[in-house]
A and B are shown apart, each in its own frame.
Chain A
Amino acid sequence: MTTAIELEKVRITFGTFTAVHDTNLDIRDGEFFSFLGPSGCGKTTLLRTISGFTEPSAGVVRIGGKDMAGIGPNKRPTALIFQNLALFPMMTVAENVAYGLRVRGVGKSEREQRAMKLLDQVALTPHAHKKISALSGGQKQRVAIARALAVEPKVLLLDEPLSALDLKLRQHMRRELREIQQRVGITFIYITHDQGEALNMSDRIAVMNAGHIEQVGTGREIYSKPQSAFVASFVGESNELPGKVSRISDGMCTVDTPLGALSGRVGGDFRVGDAATLFVRPEQLRLAAPGGDHAFRARVDDLSFEGSMTHLGLDTGLAQDCAATLMTSNHESLPEIGADLGLSFNPLDAIVLKSGAPAA
């Protein structure tokens, strides 16, 4: 697979503030790639740099192998979908879609034809001659996609375009975006702070924090093999048990935590005595049989039953809250609030990482 976008030591600074630190990244042709991170992590800045609205302070951005330095957004083979969509209210739906073609000097009848074809693809044909203000949120969303696709970009950049929609429509649009991407086969770069969106739609995800890319990988890799404390705590829920490394062997290590010695996979470069945090996901925690072996004990201080799943809030005496998620059907009876429980987990499901700043 060829490279669609290549970032080489890209750094972006505004005055004294560094929004993006030296970043290297290859985005492949035809993949659905997401940047996931909290607001202010630099993901939108990076997107604006790819689209050409911001010039990098250092480094090279290549699109399709070509250095993009000095090439404006109107000359790049990218199309951007704005967070607020930025549709043109003084034009009809079809005129919006045809705008990029009009700019390129495509004749009136041809661009109308092509706009109608695109509108057909996003199921908006009956609305072609309506004003933008007459459309619903989801329809506007699809107009924005059609308008961007009309210029036949090599890369479509999407800046949190679903954030303004309600939950149901958002889930629907996720599927639709994914379908459109597979149909047109071009690279989609998607910016989001919503891990559900990123995990759900993307081929690969770059998790960003404070101007750094912390990890690049498939959703599964990022979820089950986080490479930093930030990724482990930002993507999905995790119980964090800080302590000191006391033993390392065969890719496993033991951390002395206030709850006792707990083991997990080694997720970093450690020596005995280093500060480290053991991360274990709530769904990996199991209730130990009464009197049986357990990793640590905790008291149930919250219980919420959600049908197939039951969430337990646990009080371990540590500052951090702990949680466990149980498959309801695996348990004959559920613990009660206030019950003192033994909890265990498979050390292969836990990971030990360098303690980092907690996710914002």
Chain B
Amino acid sequence: MNNLDTTFIATALVVVLFFFLVRYDRQRRPEAIGFFRRNGAVVGGYLILGVGFWLIMTFIMPMVFMVDLSFHHKLPPSKVGGPEDVYTLDNYRMFLFGSRTSTESLNWLHLRSFFATIGISMALTLITFAISYPLAYYMAQSAKAQQLRVLLLLLIIPYWVNDILRAFSFRILMAENGFLNGILQGIGLTGQPIDFLGQNIALYVALCYSHLLIMIFPLYNAIDAQDHNQIEAARDLGAPWWHIHLFIVMPHAKPGIGSGMTLCFMLTAGAVATPLVLGGPNSLWFTPIVYDRFYQLFDWPQGAAYAIVLLLACIAIVFTVLKLAGLKLGEIAK
């Protein structure tokens, strides 16, 4: 059985399982109007085909393929599907122990980078939140319509710039003899230029910056939905501003905070272009390591295994945090 067959069969299994779950979960109401009668044949057909294609062809199948691939050996094309193409845990063993055979010492080089990436992504998500929240609050509750339009434009237009151009311009901006160091030295804040790139500061700044909008919009939506009278009522009852934010606005905006933070964390931990361009010599971002599995070692199964480990870890963290915050997955999609 070759890789593609497995993929097709696994995909079919996932889809069938999904339909069973739906069927089992929902009791059929006698008065329910049929899906096609409600939407018409054309729209109904489009919805099913479109969503079906999107889910199956672009999401489930590639993922299943990658999962399957990660349990294989790296083989030349001629040997794929042959007798040597057997299932193996080697790639995961590589990640943990740095060797296909020995389990004596842990693969600290990769593990450290893996945990650092996740830890720093969490910290950067919190920083991005701290930067975005005041802006989102201002936009949602204080700004007049005119100011809001201007602010939104000012926020959106910089995002027309693509990732790679932004990353390289940050490199120039924050280089040793770059613009920022020039200013800092010019006003006498530092004598020596600061090594923004080598210390990964440029990387962190760029990662925060690239995910600001992704944080601001869900926050803005959530805060905007709050009745301003509630904020005034809290103030009238004697609450200082921080109390209002902590206990009135943030609890209300919790789904928005959850959705912004989740997206921001996932995208930060999974960013590739920015760490490739801005990571200093000591950068231990995990994604470039994954990237190297694919394009330096040409070991796609190993790359798949590394990427899947990262994905699973991120999903686990997101679910844990959501659970701790008392949020359901459905709520953050509001």
| Residues B239 and A86 in contact, CB atoms below 8 Å apart | no
B236: contacting residue among A73, A102, A150, CB under 8 A = A73
* Inter-chain contact A99/B234, CB cutoff 8 Å: yes
Q: Is there contact, CB below 8 Å, between B248 and A88?
A: yes
Q: Choose, from A75-83, A109-117, A235-243, A260-268, the stretch at the interface.
A: A75-83
Write out the residue numbers on chain B whose beta carbons fall within 8 Å of the beta carbon of A87: 230, 233
Chain B interface residue count, Cβ-Cβ cutoff 8 angstroms: 17
Q: In the complex, how many angstroms separate the beta carbon of B327 from the nearest chain A beta carbon?
A: 13
Can you sample 8 A-B contacts with CB below 8 Å?
A73-B232, A74-B240, A80-B233, A80-B236, A99-B237, A103-B237, A150-B237, A151-B238
Q: Using a CB–CB distance below 8 Å, which chain A residues touch chain B?
A: 51-53, 72-75, 78-80, 82-84, 86-90, 99-100, 102-104, 147-148, 150-151
What chain A residues lie within 8 Å of B233 (beta carbons)? 80, 82, 86-88
The verdict on A79 contacting B236 (CB below 8 Å), with A84-B229, A90-B251 known, is yes
Question: Does B100 lie at the interface of the complex (its beta carbon under 8 Å from any beta carbon of A)?
Answer: no
Inter-chain contacts of B237 with A (CB < 8 A): 74, 79, 99-100, 103, 147-148, 150-151
User: By the criterion CB–CB under 8 Å, are B234 and A90 in contact?
Assistant: no
The residues of B with any CB-CB pair to A shorter than 8 Å are 227, 229-230, 232-240, 243, 247-248, 251-252
Q: For A72, A73, A147, which residue has the most chain B Cβ atoms within 10 angstroms?
A: A73
Other 10 A-B pairs with CB < 8 A, given A83-B229, A99-B234: A74-B235, A74-B239, A86-B230, A86-B233, A87-B230, A89-B252, A100-B237, A102-B247, A103-B240, A151-B238
Is B238 touching A53 in the complex (CB atoms < 8 A)? no
Q: Which residues of B contact A103 (CB under 8 A)?
A: 234, 237-240, 243
Q: How far in angstroms is the closest Cβ of chain B from A334?
A: 50
Q: How far is the CA of A53 from the CA of B236 in the complex (A)?
A: 9
Contact A82 B229 (CB under 8 A): yes
The CA of A84 and the CA of B239, in the complex, are separated in Å by 20
Bound form: Cα–Cα A147–B243 in Å: 17
Residue of A nearest to B252 (CB): A90
Residues of B within 8 A of A147 (CB): 237
Are B229 and A74 interface neighbours, CB within 8 A?
Answer: no
Contact between A100 and B238 (Cβ–Cβ < 8 Å)?
Answer: yes
In the assembled complex, which residues on chain B have CB atoms less than 8 Å from the CB atom of A150? 237
Minimum distance in angstroms from A154 CB to a CB of chain B: 13
Complex: chain B residue closest to A100, CB-CB? B237
Distance, CA A53 to CA B233, complexed state (A): 10
- Contact between chains at A75 and B238 (CB < 8 Å): yes
Q: Which residues of B contact A82 (CB under 8 A)?
A: 229, 232-233
Cβ-defined contact, A86 with B227, below 8 A: yes
Inter-chain CA distance A36–B235, complex, in Å, is: 26
Chain A neighbourhood of B232, CB < 8 A: 53, 73, 80, 82, 86
* Complex interface: chain B residues within 8 A of A90 (CB): 251-252
Q: Which residues of B contact A86 (CB under 8 A)?
A: 227, 229-230, 232-233
Complex contacts, B236 vs chain A, CB 8 Å: 51-53, 73-74, 78-80
Give every chain A residue within 8 A of B234 (Cβ-Cβ).
Answer: 88, 99, 103
The 8 closest A-B pairs by CB, nearest first: A86-B229, A100-B237, A86-B233, A90-B251, A103-B239, A82-B229, A80-B236, A103-B238
Residue of A with least CB distance to B231: A86
Give, as a whole number of angstroms, the nearest-CB distance from B236 to chain A. Answer: 5
Q: Is the CB of B252 within 8 A of A73?
A: no
Which residues of B lie under 8 Å from residue A73 when comparing CB positions? 232, 235-236
- The residue in B236, B238, B240, B247 that gathers the most chain A C-beta atoms within 10 A of its C-beta is B236
| B50 CB to nearest chain A CB (Å) | 36
Across the interface, name the chain B residue whose C-beta is closest to A80: B236
Q: How far is the CB of A288 from chain B (nearest CB, A)?
A: 55
- Per the bound structure, the CA–CA distance linking A84 and B229 in Å amounts to 8
Bound together, the chains give a CA A90 to CA B226 distance in angstroms of 11
C-alpha spacing A80/B234, complex, angstroms: 10
